[in-house]
Amino acid sequence: MTPSGTPDIVPIVPVEDPIQIQTASAVPPPRSFLFPLAVALLAVAQLALTFYYERPWILFTDEPHGWLDYDTHIEQVWRVTEALDGWGEAWAYDPYLLAGQPNGTIFDADNKAWELWVFALWKLGVPRGMGFNLFILLAHLMVPWVVFSSARLFGSDKWTALLAAALGTWLWYFDSFPHWCWWVGMIAWDIAGYFFLLPLALLYRYVHGGKWWHLVLLALTLSAGHLVHPYTFVILVLPMLAIYVRSFRTLGPLRHVGILAAALCVIATNAYWLIAALRHWHYILNSAFYCQSTLTFLLTDYLGLLKEPLVTGVLMNRTTLRFALLLAAIAGFYAWRKDKDDRLLPLALGTGFMLVVAYMGGYSLVLSQIQPYRAVLPAMYFTLIPAAELVTRLVRAGTFKSPPFAVRVLLAIGLVALCAGLVRDALYFLPNALPDPNLTEDDELANTGVNPDFAVVDGSKGRQMEFRHAPAFEDFGQVADWLKKNDKGTGRVLVEWWILGEHLAWRTQSQILGGFLEINLQHSAANLFRRDKGGDIGKEALQKYFEDYAVEWIILSRPNLAIEKKYGDLLEPIGYIPPLNRIYKTKVKVSFLAQNEGTVKASLNRIEVKGTDPTMDAVLRYHFHETLVCEPHCTLVKEPMKDDPVGFIRVPAPHPSDFVIENSYVWP
């Protein structure tokens, strides 16, 4: 009894299957060592796969793993950890990227847990690079045990839960979308795509007579899930509401208060970055660039065909288990409906909603902003528990022991087809397990069906690349070393290849114009290649751009860019770092002061200006921000820019000849 006199809810025990009851006595109990052995086998398989794809000599170093989105996340983690260390704030005015931008506000909303993780380990003495890599390792290691724990909380027995965990592990490594996400660097979403099961299961368990520690774990895991990725809310909002609303009348007052407290804990835990994001919301831009799926992708996914890499990733579609689980889950939902099993509502609702978002979200202006194809990942993990329940139920009922001949034939055909698909999917990600192709020197190596920008074919063997992590390209370090030696901080560096731009932003102290092209902040206007991917904006406009953004150096990686062909007289060739990087110096007057003269030195949250004329306004070629202040005894205002909605900084006269612009963190 609760203090109010309302009886606690007792756990709901699903109705046992009559067939199972009849056959249970005929099935000898499994030996006690079998389950621990099965757990150990799964753990060994998981560790083997983890350290195959995440080689220890790469993980356990102070060098953070870069490449693709990982470089973006490193740059974000570095800036936020520096801000936390220096100012106790989780964002900063960052002059090192895009002529000054608020780093740690909106674009890194999927990076909060990673930032806090690295900062905490760093303060405990772990090098930042290793702390960054350990988050990647954590993402791999949690998969089966989160699924197992969630299944147990949902009432599955230990063998069913272990089957769900094994299937979830297979999805992680051998379904193309989860594998693509962690390989390319979308690892926060990858974690969110399975971790959501744990708070959902804890809520289910709590409303069915769970203990106080279920509530505590619910608050902690739900808070952590939203720190990992804010779209956790999108995954959980409907199934959690369904569980709560259905149980509303039967819950005692203390349980209502407990659930409210858990929700408030989530808000409080995430408030620090939500407040900063809301204050910067006026800078946000359209985010509907990637993962814009429609119903046709359901067909191509089912057939295992690659339709559009910008939606599903550049890997070939490997989806056998995904659709087998979906069909099994649908059958499981039907069985639950007949049994009146109350797990049906949250798990079926979650599966259905995620599938609708994944394959119809591209038709919606709102859902398109969250890159809807992402939702296919949690849809997969929603199906694990009902699919595993169906399989174990059929096995224990003896369904496969003596079926009619026709059924046995169909089962055999289906099993052969399923096994072939599963093996094909696994071998796609284990290409070294295949024999070398029998090629001669005259054979023309056909593309494997993967975007050649990513899936490089080994010309000596005709083998597809392995989708596992490797050290950063050697030339990235060479370009960084060149900048450290030659860039004196008197101008900016325009970097065409976005991955290299992000890499240089965290590895050097140079001020970079470049990085992720589709960053959803207005500050991206400072990147020439956001305006035009070839830099072909006309000679006069290009020269003005160089002057406006104080571009001293240009690093180009793609061949045959218009900027080299048409406007080479604005560039002075300086050097070449193979295999791709061409370095130029611009033939324009470079200054961080658009009006007035003097010297400018920028660092995180700070711009120092010296030697100016106090009687003349000073206009700095840095983006304006509302929390910037001018000291001593000076003010600053926004200087409008025609092609840049953020604008620059004007310091009206009179002002000291030497002054400092700093981020005060105080909003007007």
Q: Are residues 235 and 92 in the same domain?
A: yes
Count of CB atoms situated within 10 Å of the CB of 238: 16
Predicted pLDDT of residue 563: 86
Q: Are residues 256 and 282 in the same domain?
A: yes
Helix residue spans in 54-110 (DSSP H): 56-59, 69-87
Q: Are residues 243 and 392 in the same domain?
A: yes
In-domain check, residue 19: no
pLDDT band at 6 (very low <50, low <70, confident <90, very high): very low
Helix residue spans in 185-252 (DSSP H): 187-195, 197-207, 212-228, 232-247
pLDDT band at 21 (very low <50, low <70, confident <90, very high): very low
Is the separation of the CB atoms in 102 and 625 below 8 Å? Answer: yes
CA-based angle 558:559:561, to the nearest 5? 85
**Residue 455 in tokens:** 């899936």
**Residue 156 in tokens:** 């599955």
Going by C-alpha positions, the residue among 569, 590, 560, 640 that lies closest to residue 487 is 590
In-domain check, residue 21: no
- How far apart (Å, rounded) are the C-alpha atoms in residues 348 and 332? 10
CB under 8 Å to 300, separation ≥6 — which residues? 306, 307, 317
- How far apart (Å, rounded) are the C-alpha atoms in residues 51 and 527? 38
Q: Is the pLDDT of residue 4 over 90?
A: no
CB under 8 Å to 132, separation ≥6 — which residues? 64, 65, 73, 74, 77, 114, 118
Question: Containing domain of residue 491, as a range?
Answer: 474-586
Q: Are residues 134 and 251 in the same domain?
A: yes
In-domain check, residue 610: yes
DSSP 96: T
Task: Write b or e for each residue in 360-369: b if 16 or more Cβ atoms lie within 10 A of its Cβ, otherwise e.
Answer: bbbeeeebbe
Q: What is the share, in percent, of the chain residues with pLDDT greater than 90?
A: 75
- How far apart (Å, rounded) are the C-alpha atoms in residues 379 and 316? 19
CA-based angle 97:98:100, to the nearest 5? 75
Q: Are residues 316 and 238 in the same domain?
A: yes
Q: Is the pLDDT of residue 8 over 90?
A: no
- Boundary residue ending a domain (396, 429, 463): 396
In-domain check, residue 605: yes
Q: Are residues 208 and 349 in the same domain?
A: yes
* Bridge partner residues of 630 (DSSP): 661
Q: Positive or negative, the Cα torsion across 209, 213, 219, 225?
A: negative
Q: What region does 313 belong to: left with phi over 0, alpha with psi -120 to 50, or beta? A: left
In-domain check, residue 446: no
- Boundary residue ending a domain (363, 396, 429): 396
Strand 492-495 versus strand 551-556 pairing type:
parallel
* Bridge partner residues of 639 (DSSP): 648
Q: Are residues 235 and 314 in the same domain?
A: yes
DSSP 654: S
pLDDT digits (tens, 9 = 90+) for 432-487: 877 766 555 544 444 443 333 344 344 444 566 788 888 878 899 999 999 999 99
pLDDT digits (tens, 9 = 90+) for 366-423: 999 999 999 999 999 999 999 999 999 988 887 777 777 887 788 888 889 899 999 9
pLDDT, greater one: 79 or 414: 79
In-domain check, residue 213: yes
Predicted pLDDT of residue 422: 92
State pTM to two decimals.
0.89
pLDDT (mean) for 273-285 = 95
- Measuring CA to CA, how many Å separate 561 from each of 215, 533, 545? 58, 9, 17
Given the structure tokens 């020197």, which residue do they identify? 441
Task: Write b or e for each residue in 610-644: b if 16 or more Cβ atoms lie within 10 A of its Cβ, otherwise e.
Answer: eebeeeebbbbbbbbbebbebeeebebeebebeeb
pLDDT digits (tens, 9 = 90+) for 339-360: 999 999 999 999 999 999 999 9
Q: Are residues 385 and 428 in the same domain?
A: no
Going by C-alpha positions, the residue among 526, 522, 529 that lies closest to residue 646 is 522
* Phi, psi at 431, each rounded to 5°: -65, -25
* Phi, psi at 584, each rounded to 5°: -125, 160
In-domain check, residue 1: no
Q: How many residues does the chain have?
A: 668
Q: Are residues 62 and 148 in the same domain?
A: yes
Determine the straight-line distance between the first and last CA of the chain, rounded to whole angstroms: 53
pLDDT digits (tens, 9 = 90+) for 128-183: 999 999 999 999 999 999 999 999 999 999 999 999 999 999 999 999 999 999 99
* Phi, psi at 611, each rounded to 5°: 75, 30
Helix/strand/coil for 503: helix
- Boundary residue ending a domain (586, 609, 629): 586
In-domain check, residue 363: yes
Q: Is the pLDDT of residue 79 over 70?
A: yes
Predicted pLDDT of residue 440: 52
Q: How far is CA 333 from the centre of its chain?
A: 30
- How far apart (Å, rounded) are the C-alpha atoms in residues 178 and 185? 11
Q: Are residues 387 and 431 in the same domain?
A: no
As a dihedral over the C-alpha atoms of residue 132, residue 133, residue 134, residue 135, rounded to 10 degrees, the angle is 60
Average pLDDT over the chain reads 89
Predicted pLDDT of residue 583: 95
Q: Are residues 546 and 651 in the same domain?
A: no
- How far apart (Å, rounded) are the C-alpha atoms in residues 69 and 107? 12
Q: How far is CA 250 from the centre of its chain?
A: 39
Number of separate domains in the chain = 4
How would DSSP label each residue in 507-533?
Answer: HSSS-EE-S-TT-SBGGGGG-HHHH-T
Predicted pLDDT of residue 398: 76
Q: Are residues 575 and 601 in the same domain?
A: no
Predicted pLDDT of residue 561: 81
DSSP 414: H
Predicted pLDDT of residue 11: 45
